[in-house]
């Protein structure tokens, strides 16, 4: 048996004579006695003085902003209940305590805590049985908690998946709102998203029309279709983006209820949008999209100029050029030629230049594409007057000269059999639809392709993605698309990140509060 260790002690020294010492001791002892009775255990000098000083600081903490602040020190129960509260609820709690202390000195203690979603409803009671109910959130006019409603709103506009929300709540343990209650809290919410969305796309349409140089000719738009999940897509959405504003002008969701055959969805969605534009007397000059023959037909029937995405056209040409630039030795001169080994990028770059400069003239585009062969044979008769081969008297070919007729014929055949050449009329304005691809990246944040959303939920998420895009396009994440180079769209990425804004969050919230107040 070891002897019990003597507890550590320290001594404080005060100035003063024995009379002062006696008076102080008397006061301190009286205080210790009262305190011991309250806490039902003996209290020593240290505990008495320490509690007195704490009390003083708590009473005076507002005058000591930079000094002692009355926060809790280290939490003793790190797994205690967490909940969300509001400013006004915190004030309300202090009012309850003040009101109680006016007629009763016993402290109010927590008697019961009930969690409702992220809200705590706490019953406070003193030893004299005075009881109060306090909730950490005020009610909205529909008798639902502000805190819970706002959190489900935040969850929805963030695009977070329900399962991510659940895991987040479980991890932090600050309450959770189940699916049924979430739906209940946001009754009529999607109508508000629709409302804000309609305003956004209508404004974008006005902006696009205003930015058009010749209103009589009409606006130029680009479209793309996207399937909601990878296999057996249930829903397809067609998005139309303005060539000048880069904003989404329309986004049409097509479901299997509209047409059981997914392959027909893009056409169906496009036709719906075309009809809507017609109803609104919006004239379309050029419509850019990935090559889809049925849409090409639909557009020409409506007398709208059809253009296909140039980048896809050039990508196809590049692939074919790679095949004639290298190969097995035994096929040299037949399927490939070593005079063409260095021509892939340069021919593709030239094709890009040609499409951008043929001003809608398909014959000119074809001529410029084919002239590449002559240029590499050092025959510059048909080259552009501004080309270096024409302007620089000391010009020398930087690529291997084509001398062999089989190399010449391989290159010209490859160019002539490319979609870019054969369908030159669909590329002669040199239009790119890369903004729709960029938009699809944003859509992926809201509609994860691995998840099968219900049609309603998918549409809601599409609208939120559109609101996010229209508010932030050309602001941050799309700036990397601003300078696509000829050969590879991603090769000259300029990343200029600006702060994103989320005004649409507030617009939806305000709209929703109005529907509650009207009800």
Least Cβ distance, residue 346 to Zn ion (angstroms): 12
Cα 381 from Cα 327, distance rounded (Å):
32
* Sole window of 122-130, 304-312, 319-327, 407-415 interacting with Zn ion (rule: CB under 5 A): 122-130
CA distances from 330 to 2, 117, 419 (A): 96, 74, 29
Interface size with Zn ion, residues (CB under 5 A) = 9
Query: Does residue 380 touch Zn ion according to CB under 5 A?
Result: yes
- Strands 119-125 and 109-116, by their bridges, are antiparallel
Query: Does residue 101 touch Zn ion according to CB under 5 A?
Result: no
Least Cβ distance, residue 175 to Zn ion (angstroms): 29
Give 35 or 389: the residue with its C-beta nearer to Zn ion: 389
Least Cβ distance, residue 429 to Zn ion (angstroms): 24
Nearest to 336 by CA among 319, 320, 323: 323
How far is residue 57 CA from its own chain's centroid?
Answer: 46
Residues numbered 67 to 96 that lie near Zn ion (CB under 5 A) are none
Give 169 or 383: the residue with its C-beta nearer to Zn ion: 383
Give 378 or 485: the residue with its C-beta nearer to Zn ion: 378
Give 104 or 364: the residue with its C-beta nearer to Zn ion: 104
Least Cβ distance, residue 482 to Zn ion (angstroms): 30
Asked if 276 contacts 202 with a C-beta cutoff of 8 angstroms, the reply is no
Query: Does residue 377 touch Zn ion according to CB under 5 A?
Result: no
Least Cβ distance, residue 396 to Zn ion (angstroms): 11
Question: Tokens representing 111?
Answer: 């008697």
Give 190 or 374: the residue with its C-beta nearer to Zn ion: 374
Coil vs helix vs strand at 111: strand
Least Cβ distance, residue 34 to Zn ion (angstroms): 18
Coil vs helix vs strand at 176: coil
Give 182 or 375: the residue with its C-beta nearer to Zn ion: 375
Question: Tokens representing 178?
Answer: 């189940």
With vertex at residue 169, the alpha carbon angle to CA 477 and CA 142, rounded to the nearest 5 degrees, is 90
**Residue reference for tokens 């649409």:** 504
Give 244 or 377: the residue with its C-beta nearer to Zn ion: 377
Nearest to 479 by CA among 413, 434, 515, 424: 434
Give 130 or 399: the residue with its C-beta nearer to Zn ion: 130
Give 397 or 496: the residue with its C-beta nearer to Zn ion: 397
* Sole window of 126-134, 143-151, 191-199, 417-425 interacting with Zn ion (rule: CB under 5 A): 126-134
Helix (H) or strand (E) holding 116: strand 109-116
Cα 188 from Cα 192, distance rounded (Å):
7
Least Cβ distance, residue 392 to Zn ion (angstroms): 10
Least Cβ distance, residue 271 to Zn ion (angstroms): 45
Asked if 358 contacts 350 with a C-beta cutoff of 8 angstroms, the reply is no
Q: What mask of x and - would describe binding to Zn ion in positions 381 to 420, judged by CB under 5 A?
A: --x-----x-------------------------------
- Please name the residues in contact with 71: beta carbons below 8 A apart, sequence gap of 6 or more: none
* Sole window of 13-21, 48-56, 182-190, 379-387 interacting with Zn ion (rule: CB under 5 A): 379-387
Query: Does residue 104 touch Zn ion according to CB under 5 A?
Result: yes
Least Cβ distance, residue 390 to Zn ion (angstroms): 7
Query: Does residue 130 touch Zn ion according to CB under 5 A?
Result: yes
Site for Zn ion (CB under 5 A): which residue of 126, 160, 203, 370? 126
Query: Does residue 128 touch Zn ion according to CB under 5 A?
Result: yes
* Sole window of 15-23, 98-106, 154-162, 283-291 interacting with Zn ion (rule: CB under 5 A): 98-106
Cα 327 from Cα 338, distance rounded (Å):
9
Query: Does residue 370 touch Zn ion according to CB under 5 A?
Result: no
Cα 219 from Cα 313, distance rounded (Å):
23
* Sole window of 165-173, 325-333, 371-379, 433-441 interacting with Zn ion (rule: CB under 5 A): 371-379
DSSP conformation letters of 381-428: TTS-TTSHHHH-TT---SSPPP--HHHHHHHHHHHHTSHHHHTGGGTT
Asked if 223 contacts 238 with a C-beta cutoff of 8 angstroms, the reply is yes
Please give the residue ranges that form the binding site for Zn ion (CB under 5 A): 104, 106, 126, 128, 130, 375, 380, 383, 389
């Amino acid at each position: 048996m070891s002897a019990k260790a003597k507890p550590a002690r320290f001594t404080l020294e005060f100035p003063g004579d024995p009379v002062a010492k006696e008076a102080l001791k008397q006061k301190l002892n009286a205080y210790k006695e009262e305190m011991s009775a309250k806490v039902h255990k003996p209290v020593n000098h240290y505990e008495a003085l320490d509690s007195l000083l704490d009390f003083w600081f708590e009473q005076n903490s507002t005058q000591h902003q930079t000094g002692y602040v009355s926060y809790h020190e280290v939490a003793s129960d790190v797994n205690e209940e967490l909940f969300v509260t509001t400013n006004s609820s915190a004030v309300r709690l202090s009012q309850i305590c003040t009101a109680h202390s006016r007629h009763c000195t016993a402290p109010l203690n927590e008697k019961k805590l009930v969690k409702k979603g992220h809200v705590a409803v706490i019953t406070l009671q003193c030893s004299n049985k005075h009881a109060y109910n306090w909730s950490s959130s005020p009610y909205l006019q529909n008798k639902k908690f502000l805190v819970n409603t706002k959190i489900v709103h935040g969850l929805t506009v963030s695009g977070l998946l329900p399962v991510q929300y659940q895991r987040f709540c479980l991890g932090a343990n600050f309450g959770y709102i189940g699916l049924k209650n979430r739906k209940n809290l946001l009754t009529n919410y999607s109508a508000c998203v629709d409302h804000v969305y309609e305003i956004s796309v209508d404004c974008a349409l006005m902006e696009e029309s205003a930015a058009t140089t010749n209103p009589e000719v009409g606006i130029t738009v680009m479209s793309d279709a996207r399937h909601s999940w990878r296999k057996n897509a249930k829903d397809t959405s067609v998005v139309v983006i303005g060539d000048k504003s880069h904003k989404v002008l329309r986004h049409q969701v097509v479901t299997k209820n509209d047409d059981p055959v997914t392959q027909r969805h893009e056409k169906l969605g496009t036709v719906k949008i075309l009809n809507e534009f017609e109803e609104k007397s919006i004239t379309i000059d050029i419509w850019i999209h990935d090559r889809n023959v049925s849409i090409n037909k639909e557009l020409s029937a409506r007398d709208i100029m059809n253009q296909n995405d140039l980048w896809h056209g050039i990508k196809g040409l590049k692939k074919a050029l790679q095949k004639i630039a290298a190969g097995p030795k035994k096929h040299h001169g037949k399927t490939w030629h070593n005079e063409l080994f260095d021509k892939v990028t340069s021919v593709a770059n030239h094709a890009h230049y040609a499409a951008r400069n043929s001003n809608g003239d398909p014959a000119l585009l074809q001529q410029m594409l084919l002239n590449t062969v002559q240029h590499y044979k050092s025959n510059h008769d048909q080259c552009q007057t501004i080309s270096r081969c024409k302007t620089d008297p000391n010009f020398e070919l930087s690529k291997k000269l084509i001398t062999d007729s089989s190399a010449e014929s391989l290159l010209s055949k490859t160019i002539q059999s490319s979609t870019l050449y054969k369908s030159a009329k669909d590329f002669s304005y040199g239009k790119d639809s890369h903004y729709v691809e960029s938009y699809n990246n944003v859509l992926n944040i809201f509609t994860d392709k691995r998840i099968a959303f219900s049609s309603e939920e998918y549409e809601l998420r599409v609208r939120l993605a559109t609101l996010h895009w229209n508010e932030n396009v050309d602001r941050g994440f799309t700036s990397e698309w601003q300078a696509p180079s000829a050969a590879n769209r991603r090769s000259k990425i300029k990343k200029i990140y600006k702060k994103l804004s989320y005004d649409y969050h507030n617009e939806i919230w305000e709209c929703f509060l109005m529907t509650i107040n009207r009800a």
